[in-house]
Structure 1
Amino acid sequence: MPHQILPPTGAPRVLAVAQLSNSLGDGAYYVTSALYFTRVVGLSPTQIGLALTIAWAIGSVTGVPLGALADRKGPRGTAVLLALATSASVGSFLFIRSFVPFLLTAVLYAVAQCGLAAARQALLAGLVEPSARTGVLAHLQSTLNAGLAVGAALGGLALRHDTREAYLAVFALDAAGFLLCAVTLLRLPVVPGSPARAKGEPRLAVLRDRPYAVVTALNAVLLLRMPLLSLAVPLWIVERTNAPSWLVSALFVLNTLAVMAFQVRMARDIDGPRTAIRAVRRSGLVMLASCVVFACSAAGLPVWATVAVLVVGAVLQVVAEMQQSAGSWQLGFDLAPAHQIGQYQGFFGTGVPVARTLGPLLLTSLLVMWGVPGWLLLGGIFLVTGLAMGPVVRWAEADRRRGAGNCATSHDGPADEYRTSAERHVTL
């Protein structure tokens, strides 16, 4: 199992340690934060939901300029500063006692998190050769899940004690984790920032890249699998099936362990746009099958049979998740210009907050209210989206080739100079 989680030595291993250091605290934070803010701080669920929705909406918008900042100033320093900002925001939650400070701190947390994700991707791109990036990201995803699982167990201890001190210890752990993440990132080599923009090149070029925007939108639709597992399936199990409620936790553990064990293997054969397209296409097909199986769990079967059907649906869902993740990682990097990885990854990463913001309302309406027809419609959406990725990626590649041709005839080679500089930092 360790070789499935730990990446190769060098920069990938250091990135994994940084990932693990903050995911431990995040796992504990995720399972305790709602109760902390309601029971200790005294906020209402409506206030918490409103603040987090606003915060992540702002965070998703700021990911692009913060990613562009990482491109210009260098991704390592930017990632370190944003990790420190995240640590500070989590630590600030310890002193929040009313709604407005909570909202402001939540905005800082979301902005720092979205920017940190973009800067980390740019840092990885500067340190790992293109053919190895998806494999390294698969290792990092396994590391992330391992940290979240252990952190969730620690958070469970805090929930068992259910005291103010226990919750405060969790927040302190998360803040310390991001502080350790910042220190760990300093062990990596410096990746140089990109040169000044070429004449006529927009400051945030990704906002004018229509093919990349469509790829990002399709990926956001496929990311609806995230609130599907965390919200829609639990509600479906409790309200529409005769399965025991403990199955909700069991399916979450199944998902976490599966990603830890098999994500690296799933990503092993993905090394370019063609293989990435096939992975995304397969993920759409498997998600359709998963939705059909989940729909069958409402057929009034014996309890043991309902449990078995739900487990099969969850297995298909996690297989689709691993294929979609690996394929989208490859496409997100391959379709981005080498000197603008940060801002492009910042834009590509908006799919996560968009799915988490819009997904709950959409999925609860489709599945809990519509029932079986909603599952079938959702499965069809996943299938069509997965199939659409191929033509859109080919459009993006053709657009990139045209853009490269225009650049070659309009100005000399600062971009080539940057690529040569960056390539000197690829060796681990």
Structure 2
Amino acid sequence: MSERWFPAAGPARGLAVAQLVNSVGDGAYYVCSALYFSQVVGLSAAQIGLGLTVAWGVGAVAGVPLGHLADRRGPRGTAVALALATAVCAAAFLTVRSFLPFVVAACAYATAQCGLAAARQSLLAGLVEPGGRTGVLAHLQSALNAGLALGAAFGGLALHVGTAGAYLTVLALDAAAFAGCALLLARLPEPGRAEVPVPARGPAPGVLRNGPYALVASLNMVMLLRMPLISVAVPLWIAEHTAAPGWTVSALLVLNTGAVMLFQVRTAAAVRDLPGAVRTVRSGGALMLLSCAVFAASALDAPLWALFAVLLVAAGLQVGGEMRQSAGAWQIGFDLAPAGRQGQYQGFFGAGVPVARMLGPLVLTTLLVTWGPPGWLVLGALFLGAGAAMGPAVRWAERSRPTAPAMAAVRPSGPPSTVR
């Protein structure tokens, strides 16, 4: 198994394989879910949008307490339980036939997904030395994109068949993929056999009182508006503001996915400490500004070949900025979190993902589709500003980082789940 695609043999590789497996289910689900809920369940577009917005909002809030649970009870067992819960929630979609059950199932699905992300990050922190975490996360991102591509291919077949049975098969695949992920996570070693600090008991998870870390997470959340850019905003932009053919969207999606698979690990290799991470995020913001400016230029009258070239350049700059922002943010999110609280801190830092899924489409379509080229420049300025502000915010968070008195050092006699 090539180390370009997976880490060296060991726990990190197990994490990457588990990521690949559940991403196959995610890819198939993302391609088919909207049509399933509209054509089979019978929901309107407004109902689907409202339900998913509520669901990801609930998931964003649930990430911190579920990450805190991973810190207290052990990240491996928590991750396994949440992967199984995600599988059950995906299977529940098979029986949904009206709006209220859809919202309940979607909220449970998003909650389990966000909690799983936090617990998995906590598990990674316990299994991988600090210096190697960003590199492992880069491998996980490559595995994620590979799995999404495979899953999207299965989803495409279901779309081609177009029957209720085909859509139900995709949802069953998603459930099976998360069950497989749970089995793979259960095979990993339990971290915490050595002496480790664990959170002292308190009235609330410490991350909720850490203002500097919250600022860093908020700046990262702004930069995560890039997530729905290539999948939601750019297709609408191409359709409404350019003369490019519809297949251009597929070409740009292939470019994005392929570039992350091939170059994310190489991009992350240069990030080894907080100063390097800050520089990487800052340069990622600058690339995103350039990308937005080039996308804005695609509204100009030009021959089709020139228009296609402009869109390719814009998408290339966008994915370059995306990879740099991701690599730097991973290092920052881990390094600023105190030992023993990685679950809750990663749950809070990772809340930017469901928030981007929840608010990103509305913000981006308003800026880009409604405002046109000026909206692209505003968005680019947001990326540049958030990247530039990350340096002062990280330095403040580093000075204010919780110290040892807030922690209690213990030597567990068994897995972390035995610590009380």
TM-score normalized by structure 2?
0.95
Query: What letter is aligned with 2:77?
Result: G
Matched residue SS, 2:340: helix
Cα contact 1:4–1:260 (8 A) shared by 2:
no
Report the Cα distance in structure 2 between the residues aligned to 1:172 and 1:357, rounded to whole angstroms.
25
Cα contact 1:218–1:385 (8 A) shared by 2:
yes
List per-residue Cα deviations over 1:191-231 (Å, max 9, x = no partner). Answer: 249776436x4431000000000000000000011111111
Query: What letter is aligned with 2:19?
Result: Q
Query: What letter is aligned with 1:198?
Result: A
How far is 1:180 from its partner?
A: 0.6
2:106 matched to 1:112?
Answer: no
1:397-416 matched pairs, under 5 angstroms:
397-400=398-401, 403-404=402-403, 407-408=404-405, 414-415=408-409
| 1:221 aligned residue | 222
Stretch deviating more after TM superposition (211-220 or 94-103) = 94-103
TM-score normalized by structure 1?
0.93
Matched residue SS, 2:302: coil
Cα contact 2:64–2:343 (8 A) shared by 1:
yes
Query: What letter is aligned with 1:275?
Result: G
| 2:16 aligned residue | 16
Matched residue SS, 1:306: helix
Query: What letter is aligned with 1:84?
Result: L
Report the Cα distance in structure 1 between the residues aligned to 2:199 and 2:152, rounded to whole angstroms.
44
1:192-211 matched pairs, under 5 angstroms:
192=192, 197-198=199-200, 201-211=202-212
| 1:235 aligned residue | 236
1:200-349 matched pairs, under 5 angstroms:
201-349=202-350
How far is 1:103 from its partner?
A: 0.9
Report the Cα distance in structure 1 between the residues aligned to 2:398 and 2:245, rounded to whole angstroms.
49
Gaps of 5+ in 2: 416-420
List per-residue Cα deviations over 1:130-189 (Å, max 9, x = no partner). Answer: 000000000010001001001101110000000111111111111001001101111111
Report the Cα distance in structure 2 between the residues aligned to 1:83 and 1:208, rounded to whole angstroms.
29
Cα contact 1:72–1:195 (8 A) shared by 2:
no
How far is 1:2 from its partner?
A: 3.7
Matched residue SS, 1:151: helix
How far is 1:418 from its partner?
A: 6.2
Report the Cα distance in structure 1 between the residues aligned to 2:199 and 2:375, rounded to whole angstroms.
48
| 1:5 aligned residue | 5
| 1:389 aligned residue | 390
Report the Cα distance in structure 2 between the residues aligned to 1:204 and 1:38, rounded to whole angstroms.
39
List per-residue Cα deviations over 1:27-51 (Å, max 9, x = no partner). Answer: 1111001111111111111111111
Cα contact 1:71–1:342 (8 A) shared by 2:
yes
| 2:62 aligned residue | 62
Report the Cα distance in structure 2 between the residues aligned to 1:270 and 1:341, rounded to whole angstroms.
20
How far is 1:377 from its partner?
A: 1.3
Matched residue SS, 1:189: coil
Over aligned residues, Cα RMSD in angstroms?
A: 1.9
1:6-45 matched pairs, under 5 angstroms:
6-45=6-45
Cα contact 1:73–1:192 (8 A) shared by 2:
no
| 1:183 aligned residue | 183
Cα contact 1:4–1:142 (8 A) shared by 2:
no
Matched residue SS, 1:5: coil
Matched residue SS, 2:187: coil
**Seq. identity, %:** 63
List per-residue Cα deviations over 1:64-105 (Å, max 9, x = no partner). Answer: 000000000000000000000000000111111111111111
Stretch deviating more after TM superposition (367-376 or 126-135) = 367-376
Cα contact 1:295–1:371 (8 A) shared by 2:
yes
Report the Cα distance in structure 2 between the residues aligned to 1:138 and 1:234, rounded to whole angstroms.
27
2:91 matched to 1:97?
Answer: no
Report the Cα distance in structure 2 between the residues aligned to 1:418 and 1:392, rounded to whole angstroms.
34
Cα contact 1:197–1:203 (8 A) shared by 2:
no
Query: What letter is aligned with 2:408?
Result: P
Stretch deviating more after TM superposition (300-309 or 354-363) = 354-363
Question: Which of structure 1's runs of 4+ aligned residues deviate more than 6 A?
Answer: 193-196
What is the aligned length? 414
Report the Cα distance in structure 2 between the residues aligned to 1:323 and 1:109, rounded to whole angstroms.
29
How far is 1:414 from its partner?
A: 2.3
Matched residue SS, 2:135: helix
Cα contact 2:71–2:341 (8 A) shared by 1:
yes
Cα contact 1:24–1:148 (8 A) shared by 2:
yes
How far is 1:118 from its partner?
A: 0.1
Report the Cα distance in structure 1 between the residues aligned to 2:254 and 2:184, rounded to whole angstroms.
28
Report the Cα distance in structure 1 between the residues aligned to 2:65 and 2:280, rounded to whole angstroms.
30
Cα contact 1:4–1:262 (8 A) shared by 2:
no
How far is 1:3 from its partner?
A: 2.9
1:349-368 matched pairs, under 5 angstroms:
349-368=350-369
Report the Cα distance in structure 2 between the residues aligned to 1:99 and 1:361, rounded to whole angstroms.
21
Report the Cα distance in structure 2 between the residues aligned to 1:195 and 1:132, rounded to whole angstroms.
20
Gaps of 5+ in 1: 423-428
Query: What letter is aligned with 1:86?
Result: T
